[in-house]
Amino acid sequence: MILLPNERLCVTGGAGFLGRAVCRVLRLRGVADDRIVVPRRRDYDLTREADVERLYADAKPTVVIHLAAEVGGIGANLAAPGRFFFANLAMGLHLIEHARRAGLKRFVLVGTVCAYPKFAAVPFREESLWAGYPEETNAPYGVAKKSLFVMLDAYHRQYGMKSAVVVPTNLYGPEDNFDPVSSHVIPALIRKVEEARLAGRDHVVCWGTGTPTREFLYVDDAAEGVVRAAERLDAPAPVNLGTGREISIRELAELICRLCGYNGCIDWDITKPDGQPRRCLDVSRARERLNWKSQTSLEEGLRRTIEWRRAQPGM
């Protein structure tokens, strides 16, 4: 186990949704602000090796927590599959190689539930990651991330490089991305329902059939799991971070309507894709290796997220 207050940490994506939560947890651990480096895209394009090399020279980290990613919902993945593959693979490729050269104490990679096969047995166990091809709509993103799992394993075996891999399920919470083009399912649904409520519309339209299931993890709980991995793990065997609770998209939409106080109906546009049929993680490895489990119920997390959204200017 390493003591993070003694380290110099580089948190890629530290200004993003999960990144801000991870930095909050680091500060609660006693890590001083001047020991947390958060690179910004305007200064370092992590898809470019020269920029990554310059980042390591400037920041001189001893631990890297790699959260930076190009992500989005089904629509964004369908619109830019090539970019999602290239950007996510290139960032990790350069960061891991230069971590090896710099002799880092630990490299922490945050993966994605999209890496799991489309028809993996539910709940998803880490051993199932290679049991098939990911769901097609987000396969470029999932395969790019999964390739980095292999890279870290290879570097651990050949060079003894210490690293950790966590695989969080779908995240949500205050400060999430509510952009109508690139947002994930929970902020997209909250936005639709809130706009319909405020406009007095009698229905909202949602993609797909509503039958697929998902699992959702509150962002602060995920951040605690990421930091524990940085402290405790030194080999890149993937560790799931989730709740173990599965809910259908239809039930989720109905719950959000209730919590928002919206009484209209939901129309399902079955011409739009559903995505992966089911997603739910086995989280026993996280309990065993990190002494971690989620603390926030879905209903409570949704309430906090809706309250935050309503408090934003223009709402």
Q: Please identify which of the residues 44, 56, 116, 141 carries the catalytic annotation.
A: 141
**Exposed / middle / buried, residue 255 (Cβ in 10 Å: 0-12, 13-18, 19+):** middle
Does residue 262 carry a catalytic annotation? no
What's 120's DSSP letter? P
Question: Could you check whether the bond before residue 273 is cis, i.e. omega within 30 degrees of 0?
Answer: no
Report helix, strand and coil shares of the chain as percent, to nearest 5.
Answer: 50, 15, 35
Q: Is 219 in contact with 176 (CB distance < 8 Å)?
A: yes
Cα-Cα-Cα-Cα dihedral of 55, 56, 62, 63, to 10°?
50
Question: What CA–CA distance (Å, rounded) separates 39 from 42?
Answer: 9
Instruction: Give which of 20, 10, 26 is closest to 64, Cα–Cα.
Output: 10
Instruction: Output the six-digit token pair for 284.
Output: 């026993």
Please identify every residue annotated as catalytic: 141
